[in-house]
Structure 1
Amino acid sequence: MIVYRKVRQDELDQAAELLTKSFEDYSFFNMYAGNNIKKRDFVHAIQEANLKTAYKKYTVIAGAKDNQMVSLAQLKPPHKSEAGFFDYLLGGGIKIILTGGLKNAMELLKMNEEATAVCHDQTGRVWYLSTLAVSTAHQGQGLGSKMLHDCIIPYIEKRGGGLLTLITNTEKNREFYKKNGFEEFHSMTIRRNGKELGNWSYRMNIEKK
C-alpha cells in the first residue's frame, strides 16, 4: 500500500537523492552537463535547489511504501508566483553555480523559462506539475500512474480543481502522459550548445469535487 503525504524537512536529502537518480540521464539536463562525475554533481545540485525551493513555495508530496519513499511530486498551485533566480539561490542554487558554472546555471534557468512558458501562460486556475518521479528501484511498477490518479488528481479536485499542466522532453514520457489522460497541446524544439531537445506541453482539466 502506498501512503501519500507532504515531504518533511528532515526528508529533503533523501528526496533529493531519489530525484538525482531518477533524472541523472534526463535529456533536459544533458544539454548543459559535462562528464559523468560532473554531471551527477550538477544534476544533484539542480534537483536539491528545485526541491528546496518547491518545499518553501509550493507543495511537495511523497509516496511511501513500507516507510520507504518510492515516488515524489512537486506541484505549483494556482496564483503562486513562479520561482526566480533568487528563490533558487536561497534554495541552495549556489551549488549549481559551483558544479556547473555561472553561465550554465543562468542558461539552464533561461531554458527552463522557455520550456515552461506555454504552461504558465494558460489562464484560469492553473496548476503546474514540475516534477513526477519514481525511485529507480521501483520503476516499471505503475507507481507514476498510481501517484497521478490516487494522489495528485484527487489533491487538486479537493482544492477547487483547475487545469493541471506539465512539460516533458522524452518520447517515453509523452506516451505515459497520453496514456494517463493528458492532452498534448504544444510542441517545440529547444536548441542549445549545438544540441536539440524536444519539448512537449500537456494539460488535463480537473473538476472540483
Structure 2
Amino acid sequence: MNFRHAVIPEIKQLSELAAASFSEYELYQKTIRQTFHHEADYQKFIQSMHAVHLATNVKQQKAFVLEEKNKILAIVILEAATLPKTTIWQYIKNGGLKMFPYFFQNNLAQFLAMLDEAEKLPQQYSPTNWHVNLLAVRPGYQGQHIGSRALTDFVIPYVKSKGAQSLSLITNTQNNVTFYQKNNFKITDERILDFKGHQVKNWSFMQVLVD
C-alpha cells in the first residue's frame, strides 16, 4: 500500500468516496438529514459538502490517500498547529458558494458550528497534538482492516515523523468507538451534540505517541 498526499485531479473521485462512506453516518442522519424532505437532495448536499471540504484540504496539502494498485482505498485529512489554517474565504474559493442555499433552507451554519465545536474538543490539549479530521474507507472495503492499517501503518508513523506527541479524533457511532479502542485510542470526552432538537452522541479520542 502507498500513503501519499491527495492531488487536485482526484477531488471529484475523493468527494464521491467520502459521500458514499458518510451518507449514513449518525452525525448527519440524526441532525441535518432531518431538514431535507427528499433523499436525493440530501445526497447531493453530502457530496457537495465533501467536495468543498476536500478541495480546500487537498490544496493545503492536508489530505492524504491510501492506495493499492492505483486504487484509492481510504482518505485521511490531518490537522495540526503547524499546518495551514483554513479560512472561510478558502472554502468560498473552493466551491463554498454552491452551499449558500443550504444556510437558509437547512440551517447549515448551525450544523457547521456544531461540527466545529466537536472537532475542537480533542485538539485543546497540546500544540504537539495532531488531529484526524476525516478518515473515510471506500465502501466495499470496509471491515477489511483498511482503516486500522491507515492509522497504524501510515498515519501514526507520518505524524510522529513531524513531531506529533499525540493523535486525536472524534466519532459518533458505537461501532467506531469499539474500532478506535481496539486501535489503542482512549476516550477523552463524551457529550451530546444538539442540532435543532436533534441529538447525537459524540466521543473524543486520543492516543499518546510518546513513551
1:148 alignment counterpart: 151
SS at the partner of 1:189?
strand
Note if 1:161 corresponds to 2:164. yes
Matched position secondary structure for 2:163:
coil
The equivalent of 1:137 in structure 2 is 140
Paired residue for 1:177? 180
In structure 1, C-alpha distance between the alignment counterparts of 2:113 and 2:210, rounded to whole Å: 33
**Matches of 2:67 and 2:146 in 1, distance apart?**
11
- After superposition, what is the alpha-carbon deviation per residue over 1:168-209, rounded to whole angstroms, capped at 9, x for unaligned? 11111111111100010001101112211101100112239x
The alignment status of 1:4 with 2:3, answered yes or no, reads yes
**Cα offsets for 1:65-84 (capped at 9, x unmatched):** 22111111000123346534
Q: How many residues of Structure 1 are paired with residues of Structure 2 in the alignment? A: 206
Residue 17, structure 1, aligned to residue 26, structure 2: no
Provide the aligned C-alpha RMSD in A: 1.7
Quote the Cα distance in structure 1 between the aligned partners of 2:197 and 2:185.
31
Residue 197 of structure 2: aligned partner: 194
Aligned-residue offset at 1:52: 1.3
Pick from 81, 92, 96 the counterpart of residue 93 of structure 1: 96
CA deviations on 1:140-159 (whole Å, 9 max, x unpaired) are 11100000011100101211
Higher relative contact order (CA 8 A, sep 6+): 2
Is residue 18–residue 50 contact of structure 2 (8 Å, CA) maintained in 1? yes
Quote how far apart the aligned CAs of 1:127 are.
0.8
Moved more, 56-65 or 69-78: 56-65
Q: State the alpha-carbon separation in 1 of the partners of residues 111 and 182 from structure 2.
A: 29
1:36 maps to which residue?
39
Gaps of 5+ in 1: none
Q: Which is further off, 112-121 or 42-51?
A: 112-121
- Going from structure 1 to structure 2, the CA distance change for 1:151 and 1:69 (only over 3 Å counts) comes to same
In 1, Cα distance between equivalents of 2:52 and 2:141: 24
User: What is the match of residue 50 of structure 2?
Assistant: 47
* Paired position in structure 1 for 2:110: 107
Aligned partner of 1:202: which letter? F
**AA paired with 2:25?**
Y
Residue 200 of structure 2 aligns with an amino acid whose one-letter code is L
Judge which range, 162-171 or 120-129, deviates more. 120-129
Identity percentage of aligned residues: 26
Cα distance in 1, alignment partners of residues 198 and 150 from structure 2: 32
How far 1:106 moved relative to its partner? Answer: 1.0
Look up the match of 1:128: 131
State how far apart, in whole Å, the 1-side matches of 2:208 and 2:179 are. Answer: 17
Shift of 1:90: 2.1
Cα distance, 1:114 vs structure 2 = 1.7
Q: Residue type of the partner of 1:203? A: M
SS in 2 for 1:136: coil
Instruction: Tell me if structure 1 keeps the 8 A contact 2:122–2:188.
Output: no
Please tell me the residue identity of whatever aligns with 2:21: S
Amino acid at match of 2:22: F
**Other structure's SS at 1:83 match:** coil
Q: Partner of 2:95: helix, strand, or coil? A: helix
